[in-house]
């Protein structure tokens, strides 16, 4: 079983914020691949399904971003999943909107959700799907930027981006992160 975690904040009024793109990606993946309904568990919402030959447990922590690790640690412990079998989908300021990068391990780079996970599970050795949201231009504007809604104009790239992530998720589930990343990027080039 693989654990896929989407990062975001739980308040309904925060659903369209840039910081919630991890939740958005997991929602589209769950719908596209016919996952079961979201149920409360592990201080979060979980949905189970299959992508290709892999069983996936999707988790959206409902603890707020800064405490995401509490939810993640409970799910890993309960199912005895190793961090190496976990992938976290999160917003990435250092990538332009609609760009994607996949990596394993590394630092939190100022992302409080990743920092919380690292602290709770004791290792940064897990997969990360970095979903580009762009940067506001100055570090003093970051907090307000990530906690603001995507503007309507961003739908032209955001919806195709989330669709591409869901459409190409089988490569990620099969342990082919480079193929996943390349396929999503190719899909996005067709949109631009």
CATH number at residue 12: 3.40.50.1470
Residue 47 is predicted with a pLDDT of: 98
pLDDT of residue 40: 98
Is the model's pLDDT at 109 over the cut of 90?
Answer: no
pLDDT band at 97 (very low <50, low <70, confident <90, very high): very high
- Predicted local distance difference test score (pLDDT) of residue 39: 98
Give the model's pLDDT for residue 191: 84
Contact between 169 and 31 under an 8 Å Cβ cutoff? The reply is: no
Domain that holds residue 167: 2-191
Average pLDDT over residues 7-22: 96
pLDDT reading at 164 higher than 80: yes
Distance between CA atoms of 61 and 112, rounded to whole angstroms? Answer: 13
| Catalytic residue set | 19
Q: Which of 122, 61, 132 lies closest to 102 in space, CA to CA?
A: 132
**Mean pLDDT over all residues of the chain?**
96
Q: How far apart are CA 43 and CA 61, in angstroms?
A: 6
pLDDT digits (tens, 9 = 90+) for 111-137: 999 999 999 999 899 999 999 999 999
Question: Tokens in use for 24?
Answer: 């958005």
Identify the pLDDT of residue 2: 98
Edge-to-edge strand list for the sheet holding 54-61: 39-41, 44-51, 54-61, 2-6, 86-92, 127-132, 100-104
Q: Kindly report, residue by residue over 69-84, the tens digit of the pLDDT.
A: 999 999 999 999 999 9
pLDDT at 177: 97
Q: Which pLDDT band, with edges at 50, 70 and 90, does 108 fall under?
A: confident
Is the pLDDT at 110 greater than 90, yes or no? no
Could you write out the three-class secondary structure of 78-126? HHCCCHHHEEEEEEECCCCCCCEEEEECCCCCCCHHHHHHHHHHCCCCC
**Number of domains, the chain:** 1
Report pLDDT digits (tens) over 26-59: 999 999 999 999 999 999 999 999 999 999 999 9
């Amino acid at each position: 079983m693989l654990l896929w975690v989407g990062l975001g904040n739980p308040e309904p009024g925060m659903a369209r914020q840039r910081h919630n793109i991890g939740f958005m990606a997991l929602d589209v993946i769950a719908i596209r691949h016919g996952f079961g309904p979201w149920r409360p568990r592990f201080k979060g919402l979980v949905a189970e399904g299959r992508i290709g030959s892999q069983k996936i447990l999707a988790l959206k922590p409902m603890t707020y971003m800064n405490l995401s690790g509490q939810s993640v640690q409970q799910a890993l412990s309960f199912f005895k999943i190793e961090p190496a079998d976990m992938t976290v989908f999160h917003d990435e300021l250092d990538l332009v909107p609609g760009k994607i990068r996949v990596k394993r391990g590394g630092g939190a780079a100022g992302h409080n959700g990743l920092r919380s996970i690292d602290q709770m599970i004791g290792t940064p050795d897990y997969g990360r799907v970095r979903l580009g949201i762009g940067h506001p231009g100055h570090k003093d504007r970051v907090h307000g930027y990530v906690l603001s809604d995507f503007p309507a104009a961003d739908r032209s790239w955001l919806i195709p981006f989330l669709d591409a992530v869901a459409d190409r998720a089988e490569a990620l589930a099969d342990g082919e992160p480079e193929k996943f990343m390349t396929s999503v990027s190719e899909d996005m080039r067709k949109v631009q």
